[in-house]
A and B are shown apart, each in its own frame.
Chain A
Amino acid sequence: DAKTTQPNSMESNEEEPVHLPCNHSTISGTDYIHWYRQLPSQGPEYVIHGLTSNVNNRMASLAIAEDRKSSTLILHRATLRDAAVYYCILRNNSGNTPLVFGKGTRLSVIA
């Protein structure tokens, strides 16, 4: 899987939007961009994924650059429960492949 680069940590105030960046300059045409998050002492949780177009769901939005070499996960209104490690992962469309986790971004939310 192609490599992704994320900041080690970020901080946000509660009820403000958060933009979590991810660089993936070696992305291939068949790689989907997946975001997962891991709350303390829990397994990872799916957040969102996309290929080329921006995506929205009840948890977040995913903005994908036109050249697909970077993407941004947007939490529209951070809450204390959003404090977690966020992982940006590329996964190709070949079916039963595992996710390969990098170090992710540790998001702290301040009340």
Chain B
Amino acid sequence: GAVVSQHPSRVICKSGTSVKIECRSLDFQATTMFWYRQFPKQSLMLMATSNEGSKATYEQGVEKDKFLINHASLTLSTLTVTSAHPEDSSFYICSAREQGAGNSPLHFGNGTRLTVT
């Protein structure tokens, strides 16, 4: 079945540094990918919609200058957390749907656990 690969699975960084998370669709093309974050004991919250070749669409309350999204190809979207702070520590998850696949399911990566010290 369709696979979405997310890298790294776990990262620890110091406050003030930037971290890049990659999301790849391994066996299908995705014009649209979605980025979520999840705090402990809470549900997934949509952060932004990443569109190949154009600017991402951010949800209300998500700072676009802090969470930089680049969707340079049909199989790769990246999320960069800039100037990370401890409150950015969270579980970040990407998802994608196969291009032109109607109401087919979304496929999710296995998440990236970010810890900012």
Contact A46 B97 (CB under 8 A): no
Interface segment, one of A14-22, A67-75, A76-84, A91-99: A91-99
Interfacial chain A residues near B44, Cβ < 8 Å:
38, 44, 101
When chains A and B are docked, how far (Å) is the Cα of A65 from the Cα of B14?
A: 51
Judged by DSSP, the binding face of A is loop
Interface size on A, residues (CB 8 A): 23
A residues in contact with B97, CB < 8 Å: 96
Q: Are B111 and A43 in contact (CB under 8 A)?
A: yes
Residues from 87 to 117 in B contacting A, C-beta threshold 8 Å: 91, 93, 95, 97, 102-103, 105-111, 113
Q: Total interface residues on B, using CB and 8 Å?
A: 25
Closest to A104 in B: B43
B103 to chain A, nearest CB (A): 5
Q: Closest residue of chain A to B43, judged by CB?
A: A101
A100–B36 Cα distance when bound, in Å, is 10
User: Which of B32, B45, B105 sits near A96, CB closer than 8 Å?
Assistant: B32
